[in-house]
Amino acid sequence: MIQEYEDHLKKLRQLYIDGTLSQRIAIVRQRVMNPNCGPNQLCNTLGALEAIARAILLDLKINEGQTKVEAYKKIKLSNATKLIEGICAAKGISPTDVFGQDWELIQYAEKYRNLLTHEGTFLREGYSSQLIEACNRAINTIEQEWINP
């Protein structure tokens, strides 16, 4: 399955490169006109996961004695996977230990989110659904492990 994601990402990037300006803009307009479509939901769900991980890591760094400003400066530009790795490291565990197979899906969700956001491309529903579900499970796990243990 993971190789399928890798191959699909390459294919989407190539379609973007090969597309005409009007084709690229048409896809962007489709996404804007359909805020609840899978690609937008994936971007939002991964963004929520990233925000939750950032909030937890910020608190952890403050509790270690860093000022709020120092702590925030260190993590403000970190992506979701780096933030999740940070909160897991604070517990002495790996993301794979916490999220199992979803950890790989989360990493692909981030790659897709970057492609979807920066290239304004589209993603068929099957891929979106699997990645969104993995991110939602991760949010639930983080809530259980870090917020309401």
pTM for this model (two decimals) = 0.94
Per residue in 32-85, pLDDT (tens digit) is 999 999 999 999 999 999 999 999 999 999 999 999 999 999 999 999 999 999
Are 140 and 110 a contacting pair, CB within 8 Å? Answer: no
100: left (phi over 0), alpha (psi -120 to 50) or beta: left
Per residue in 49-58, pLDDT (tens digit) is 999 999 999 9
Per residue in 109-121, pLDDT (tens digit) is 999 999 999 998 8
Question: What is the residue whose two structure tokens read 């996404």?
Answer: 31
Per residue in 82-108, pLDDT (tens digit) is 999 999 999 999 999 999 999 999 999
Report the alpha-carbon distance of residue 111 to residue 98 in Å, rounded. 20
